[in-house]
Every structure is written in structure tokens, then in C-alpha cells.
Structure 1
Amino acid sequence: MGKRIHQLKIDFHVTPEIKRYVYVYIIEGEFCYLIDSGVDGAEEIIANFLKSIGRKLTDVKCIFLTHAHPDHIGSAAKIREMTGCKIYASAGESRWIRDIDLQFAERPIPNFYTLVNESVTVDEILKDGDCIKLEDGLTIEAVGTPGHSCDELSYLLPEESCIFTGDAIPVRGDIPIWIQRDDNRKSLEKLKEIKGADIFYPAWDETYDREQAMDKIEDAMMLMDEIQQNVDRCKGIAESLDEMVVQVCNEMKTPHFLKNPLFRRTIESFL
């Protein structure tokens, strides 16, 4: 891991039975910059870590949000209130960041208002290819990687030869959450061809070197193919979407996917 990149694991529960985690990243230069903010309450974990390396929360000047899901934006409002930092996100994601009630209405998940309990203003909208100079020797570039969410961004840090990929690369064995199959495949292809990134920092797995990242991307594409094959196989059998979800989980021997209602949306994206 580059000396200026710090990875923080934030644990949380979607339900009492479903424990999850998300990784937040701190880019350290003259000031500090966050990639995502974690769930509500993560500001304390971030503040304590910064103190442990001789920094303070008020050193945080920007938060770059990969997408609007609660585990990525949950403490953004509190960190902004405590630091006055700027918040960056894409246009498609900002509507859910600026209005969490709208997000819950359109994407209700268990424990939503525990994971994120406050909307926050997005100061600057980014799109694919936009570059922001953070300070001398630190530049960040937005890379459009939709599919897991409607307008997710990854962030390339050329000076450290790394990219922060949010939830764009699914992890085998975990529940694949996609809203648009074709967008996700294009995003995986884009990450596979990305230049200037030797280290990949995902939000829901450990750090990858480039070779490991290529293997993860290939495996993600194979997983997409497996889901598509099983969806196609079940089309003439299942009488409803809910029944198809059950049958696909049975075929793939992944009954634990049924515990997460968002897998239903994944299957729908393959129809």
C-alpha cells in the first residue's frame, strides 16, 4: 500500500443476522482526502485513525463519493459539519445523496436510517474524465463505472498509480448487486483496460495488485455469464420474478443470496 493511502475497515449490520463491512480510504498529503465516508458513526473511526497518525479530522478537505448507497455516504454529513470539507459525486448519484428520503423510497433496505440518517449537499458534480488537482503532487481523475449503481464513479490517483473502484468489481461468494447488467460489463471492461493503475482499492475487498485485479475482473465476468445462463434456463419455468430468484439461487447453490432483497434487482437486470 502506498505510504499516502490508508485503508479503514468499517463494520456494520444490515440486519442483526447480516453483518457487512465497507472500506474507506484516506489519501494523505499536505491535507487529507476521503474516498467515501462509511456508515453513520464512521466519523469517529476516521477521526481516531487520523489522530493515531498525527493528523486530525479537520485536515480532511474533500470527500469523493463513489456512489450513493448508505454504507458509502452514511457519515458524510457529519464529517462535512465537523470539517467544512467539500463533497464530490456524480450527477446520477447526487439526487440520492442530497435526499436520502428519496433514496429510501426508491431503494428501501433494512436498517436504512441507522446506516445513513442525514442528507448532505454535493458541492461539485463530476463526470467521467474530470480531473481535480488536490494539491501539488496529487491529482484525482473521475472514471465512470456504472452498473452496481446508476452513475458510480471510480477515482484514479495517477501519482500513486492506483484506482479506487468502490463496488464496481463484485467479489465471488458475496451477493452480486447490479442494477444494469450491460453497464456493469462495460465498466469491468473499462477497468480491465485502465492505464496508470497498478493498485486497485475496492470498497468491499482487500487491496489488489494489477494481476489480482485482472483475475477478479475476469471472475466477475464469469459470474455474470453464470447468472445469465441460469436466468435463461429458468425463464420458461419460473412463473414470477420472485420464483426465478429462488430457482437461480438453487441452481447456483447460493441460498444465502435470498437473505438480501437487492439480489432480486440483480436478477431483474438480467431479464
Structure 2
Amino acid sequence: MSLCEIIRLDGYIQSTYLAVYPDKLLLLDGCCRPDVPMVLNYIRNILQRPVTDLKVVIVTHMHPDHAGGAAKLKKSTGCQILSADKSQQWYNGISGQLMHLVDTGLAYYVAKRQGCRPKNLWYSAHLHPDITVQDGDLIPEFDDWQVFETPGHTDRDLSLFHLPSRQVYTADLIIKLRHKFVAPFPIYDPKAYISSLQKVKALNPSNVMMAHGRELAIDAATFDMLIVQAPKHRRTVKDTIRHKLLWGKSEGFNIFKW
């Protein structure tokens, strides 16, 4: 029987999940910069635990609501940061720096759409993880969690599978807004995105934990619907601008989530 309790915390613009054990804590994503005080206060005041019990923070990908708080959490707790094993930074070079600015701006747009008060979302474009993982690896110190590479949204997205309970955290792979599922924005590799949906379906999860949405039991038929309706073409800011210039209209891309 697992001694892990998974708790959903309401972050600034996303859901954040904390795996609670008797002697250690695991944060399933790096959250937003403004979420850091909330996470620390939850550990201190609700769990009544020292913040040093937070041993690992995972960064599933480099967007502001998944990586923005990681470095500050490490500074406050001494935790280790874990991410995908990639040779280059996601925000690499001049074009990467520009993309980092755009993604931060989109985070402010999402916050405004959700009626959130403006807060400082700035974070480093470069991540220097303590631990890197590849597809199928177990998380060090937390060997009841298995990592799966589920790219498509970016080139380095991770999903996290809790083996005893068969719950899976899919970050931005699956998003549910109000009463409907939507694909994330951007989609950098449509084929990889579809393959990632198929990979998570094959896990036959008992529950799917979404960063934008809540915990939800998703059956095989719903996964099949998501796969069929998945974008067949790249959806990025650059593609949207190019399409607008060529055709005078956008493709109706959902930019609620980047």
C-alpha cells in the first residue's frame, strides 16, 4: 500500500500537485514564480512540516507555470530540480530568448483572462537541473513514480506516473476548460503530440491530473476522441502570424494555454 497522498494546490494560473509522504515531499511541477510562497506556506502551516522535507521539484517543461518557481523553491528548501535529459536549453540562442519573452507575455494574458491580479512572472530562461531523466526512468528517492517523455507541446514534456495508484500527471498534454477538452498551445510537433496521447492511454491510468483542469478519470473512448481531434499541423506563435499574413485570418488557435 502506498504511503503517498497526492494533493492538488490552486496555483496562480494552474493546478499544482504535491505528493506527500511521512518523511518527504515531491512537487510534480515547478509552478509559477508567484506560487512559491503558497507552496512554502502550505508545507509549513497546513502540513506543519519543515520546508526542507521538499526533496525534489520536477520541471515538466520550460513554460512559466511549470518552471517559473523551481529555482526559488530550490533556494528556499535545498530541493533538487529534475527535468528531461536534453543537450540544449529550450530557450536557446536569440530566437529562444525572444520565445521566452513571448511565453512570459502569454502567461500574463492567461492571468488576465482568468481575472488574476498582475504579479511578477519573470524567471530565468535557462534551467540547470540537478537530475535529468529519460523515458521510463524512476524518480530518485521516489521510486514509486515513473517518468514518461510525452513531447509535442514542446520537445521535452514529461508525464509522471504513480505506479501504486496508476494516477498520471500529464502537465499540459491534456487540458480541460469548462466542459470541453482542448489541445495546448503551442503544438510544436503534431505527430509527437498524438504519440504522447497514445502513450498515456496505454498506461490505462486510474486518474489523470491536469495542470489546467483537475483530476479526472479519462476512459479509452475519450482518449480516442482526443487523438482523433488532435491538431494535425504545427500551432505556434510564428505559424499563427505567418497564416495571418498569408490568409488574413488566424486558424482559431486556442492561446488560453501555450
Letter in 2 for 1:185: I
Residue 132 (1) aligns with residue 139 (2) = yes
TM-score where L is the length of structure 2:
0.76
TM-superposed deviation, 1:222: 3.5
CA distance in 1, matches of 2:74, 2:60: 16
TM-superposed deviation, 1:132: 2.6
Gaps of 5+ in 2: 109-119, 236-241
Bigger drift between 198-207 and 108-117 goes to: 108-117
TM-superposed deviation, 1:182: 0.4
The answer for the alignment partner of 2:123 in structure 1 is 117
CA RMSD for the aligned pairs?
A: 3.3
Letter in 2 for 1:168: L
Residues 153-179 of structure 1, C-alpha deviations (whole Å, 9 max, x = no match): 101111232111111124346563111
SS in 1 for 2:89: helix
Find the partner of 2:17 among 20, 25, 42. Answer: 25
CA distance in 2, matches of 1:103, 1:164: 27
Residue 220 (1) aligns with residue 226 (2) = yes
CA distance in 2, matches of 1:93, 1:173: 33
The answer for the alignment partner of 2:206 in structure 1 is 198
The answer for the alignment partner of 2:251 in structure 1 is 248
SS in 2 for 1:78: helix
CA distance in 2, matches of 1:218, 1:10: 30
Letter in 2 for 1:121: H
* Counterpart contact for 2:30–2:67, Cα < 8 Å: yes
The answer for the alignment partner of 1:265 in structure 2 is none
Residue 60 (1) aligns with residue 54 (2) = yes
Letter in 2 for 1:67: H
Find the partner of 2:64 among 70, 73, 79. Answer: 70
CA distance in 2, matches of 1:186, 1:152: 12
Residue 105 (1) aligns with residue 98 (2) = yes
The answer for the alignment partner of 1:41 in structure 2 is 34
* Counterpart contact for 1:148–1:180, Cα < 8 Å: yes
Equivalence map 1:227-238=2 (5 Å): none
Letter in 1 for 2:133: L
* CA distance 1:176–1:164, change in 2 (3 Å): closer
TM-superposed deviation, 1:215: 4.9
TM-score where L is the length of structure 1:
0.73
Higher-RCO chain (CA-CA 8 Å, sequence separation at least 6): 2
CA distance in 2, matches of 1:32, 1:101: 37
Bigger drift between 62-71 and 104-113 goes to: 104-113
TM-superposed deviation, 1:220: 2.4
CA distance in 2, matches of 1:25, 1:53: 14
CA distance in 1, matches of 2:218, 2:183: 23
The answer for the alignment partner of 1:176 in structure 2 is 184
Residue 89 (1) aligns with residue 98 (2) = no
Equivalence map 1:151-170=2 (5 Å): 151-170=156-175
CA distance in 1, matches of 2:248, 2:211: 26
The count of corresponding residues between Structure 1 and Structure 2 is: 230
* CA distance 1:144–1:56, change in 2 (3 Å): same
Rg (Cα) greater in structure: 1
* Counterpart contact for 1:169–1:217, Cα < 8 Å: no
* Counterpart contact for 1:71–1:116, Cα < 8 Å: no
* Counterpart contact for 1:93–1:151, Cα < 8 Å: no
Gaps of 5+ in 1: 12-20, 232-239, 263-271
* Counterpart contact for 2:7–2:19, Cα < 8 Å: yes
Percent identity between the aligned chains?
Answer: 21
